[in-house]
Amino acid sequence: MASAPAVQREHDGLPSSAPFQEGREPAAARGTPITTENPYLAARREWNERYGDLITRAQNWRTLAFVCAVASVVLAIGMIAMATRSRVVPYIIAVDNIGRVVNTAPAENPTRPDEKLLRVAVADWVQAMRMVTSDPQAELRAIDRVYAMIGKGSPAQTFITEYYRANSPLERAATVTVNVDVRSVVASSENTFEVAWTETTRDLTGGIKGAETYQGSFTIVVNPPSDERTIRLNPLGVYITHVSWSKVL
């Protein structure tokens, strides 16, 4: 016959052989939470602890490598652009009476040329523009000098192009030559010069066919050259922007 405590334990669902301690309640009855850990979360936490820092470092290195590559490309493009843009810095060299160099300095901030030099530049331009020579190479060089001293897109460029189209010096050289003698260059304002010149026309044997006098007005701007080719053709940086002339009767 089972004893009373054993019957009570069987009634509570506990094995009869489990020791019974009076006065001690089960954990659930005491309000203590029973925690069960999710194996997926545990595995994910373990993965992050082992490899998360390694993955983060790898991403940072890849980002840094990409930034360095972009910077290298930008620097390479910039160096190529600078290499294709040649810049000539003119130097002023002072010499004594026997030709020894006494001082040199870069002309980084060149001033406006003296008015005498501007008058000479305008006179040379008029002479090159109106001359006709039997030497085609010399004529082509003169035409190059003319266009080298014309402001791009200026009214003078249109005017001279139309003049050459109607009076091609290369075609005129087949029958005549024209010698230009600039007689005066007077500054009517800071940028405008009045020029008077005489043209003597000769046939191919040297005989004079006629002489004509012209008066013209020429407006200029001064822009110092920045490359070697421009320095050779237009060292003062004088550009003709407006041109007009007429024959003096």
Q: How confident is the model at residue 216 (pLDDT cuts 50, 70, 90)?
A: very high
Check whether 167 has a pLDDT greater than 80: yes
> For residue range 173-187, what is the model confidence (pLDDT) as tens digits?
999 999 999 999 999
3-state secondary structure of 54: helix
Locate all alpha helices (DSSP H) within the chain, ordered by sequence: 4-11, 27-30, 39-47, 53-84, 115-130, 136-148, 155-166, 169-172, 228-233
| Element holding 247 (H helix, E strand) | strand 238-248
Distance CA 7, CA 1 (A): 10
pLDDT of residue 128: 95
Q: What is the mean pLDDT of residues 60-81?
A: 87
Lowest mean pLDDT, pick from 31-35, 92-96, 107-111:
31-35
Average pLDDT over the chain, rounded to an integer: 81
Question: Beta partners for 221?
Answer: 239
- Long-range CB pairs of 228-231 (<8 Å, 24+ gap) are 228/86, 228/88, 230/148, 231/88, 231/90
Phi, psi of 117 (to 5 degrees): -65, -35
DSSP strand pairing (238-248 vs 208-222): antiparallel
Pick from 203, 214, 209, 210: which is nearest to 175 by CA?
203
Site of tokens 């001690």: 24
**Token pair belonging to 62:** 């890849």
Q: What is the mean pLDDT of residues 2-29?
A: 47
**Token pair belonging to 240:** 């003709």
pLDDT of residue 236: 87
Q: How confident is the model at residue 17 (pLDDT cuts 50, 70, 90)?
A: very low
Distance CA 197, CA 168 (A): 20
pLDDT of residue 79: 84
Residue 242: how many CB atoms within 10 A of its CB? 16
Distance CA 30, CA 28 (A): 5
Query: Could you give the angle at the alpha carbon of 216 between the alpha carbons of 142 and 140, nearest 5°?
Result: 10
Q: How confident is the model at residue 229 (pLDDT cuts 50, 70, 90)?
A: confident
Is domain 115-248 classified as CATH 3.90.1150.10?
no
Q: What predicted TM-score, i.e. pTM, was given to this entire model?
A: 0.59
pLDDT of residue 126: 96
Distance CA 146, CA 239 (A): 10
Phi, psi of 16 (to 5 degrees): -70, -25
3-state secondary structure of 188: coil
